[in-house]
Amino acid sequence: MLINGARIRPGFRVAPNGGLISGARYFSDKHRRIQRVRYPWKQDLLKMNWHYLHHEMMDYFKGRPTRDSVVELHAKAWPKFAQSPFLVSEGYVPGIIVKRGYDRKVIFKKSDIEAVAFDDDPQAHISHLFMGRMFRVIVEHEWIEDCVVVDYKAHPVNRQVFFVRFNRHIPGSITEVDIPVTLVGVFGSHAHLNRAQIDLAMPTIKLQCVGEKIPPPFLVDCSKLRMEEPYGAITLRDIMHLLPEDGTARFHPSYDLDETEIVHAYRPYSIPEQDIPEDYIDPNFVKQNKKRYHLTYSGYWPRQ
């Protein structure tokens, strides 16, 4: 567009002093006043969307969260004429699946086993969850075995696993598993606010399972734990509601639900110390054959 011999863009207009003013169309004003069609159904949805979203959020938070600790592991058949030291040197972890069927010898990738065997802390060692969860072992995409870890061979210091032993888990048959325990709400509990010491007395709880899956770790709520004399405690009967609702798992019959304590809350130095019994044997220095380690040339160490 030419005005006074100068080319002007349509989106600008000339000011009295000769300058250009932007923000307005020179040729029309209707394009700045666009009125969109307000559909009735769209207005109703905008009014009711928060109502539906609010109900969905409330149902989600009120419902019991679904937790599953099952892990899938891909394995291969144990090669013939191959021994365990050779497989470990090649980057594999040998294992065997026994009980309720034929014994099946398999090998796993070292990285797959160590990823689920150790805790996240670099200084930690074998996790309690390693023997408290179900593994779905897929053998060369032909066999699927649901099993639990019952024994393993690992380095006492380094994060290395050399051998794993599994037991099959078949729904309907009793499988005993040590389920880990985690404390929740410790710092906001009545006992902690009253300067009480809260300790976990049982890091694992033995269960008998007959269902298709193994229950996940227990999340014990300590928010209602109170300081009592001589000490406060949470027993197995207090966490009965954490068991599966379908009744496929129960505490081991050797436990007394009213006497077995999981968590203790006490005041430091309020409980007198007791000497170790003379016949006490430290379990950390006992072999699998129930014999103690010889760490010195004469006698046992530490002295017991």
**How much is the mean pLDDT over the chain?**
82
Q: Is the model more confident about 250 or about 43? A: 250
SS3 of 163, please?
A: strand
| Polymer length of the chain | 304
pLDDT for position 105: 92
pLDDT for position 304: 47
pLDDT digits (tens, 9 = 90+) for 155-180: 888 888 999 999 999 998 999 999 99
- The model scores a pTM over 0.85: no
Other CB atoms within 10 A of residue 299 CB? 9
Joined tokens for residue 278 = 């003379």
Nearest to 103 by CA among 143, 162, 160, 152: 143
CA–CA distance, 285 with 300 (Å, rounded to integer): 9
The fold of the 71-169 domain, in CATH, is Ribosomal Protein L25; Chain P (2.40.240)
The residues spanned by each domain of the chain are 71-169, 176-266
Instruction: Give the mean model confidence (pLDDT) for residues 32-46.
Output: 71
pLDDT for position 206: 93
Joined tokens for residue 12 = 């600008």
Query: What is the dotted CATH code of the domain comprising 176-266?
Result: 2.170.120.20
Q: Phi/psi of residue 132, each to 5°?
A: -120, 25
pLDDT digits (tens, 9 = 90+) for 116-158: 988 887 777 888 999 999 999 998 888 888 999 999 998 888 8
| Residue 290 pLDDT greater than 70, yes or no | yes
Contacts of 247 (CB under 8 A, 6+ apart): none
pLDDT digits (tens, 9 = 90+) for 108-121: 999 999 889 888 87
pLDDT for position 96: 93
Given pLDDT bands bounded at 50, 70 and 90, which one contains residue 107? Answer: very high
pLDDT for position 21: 52
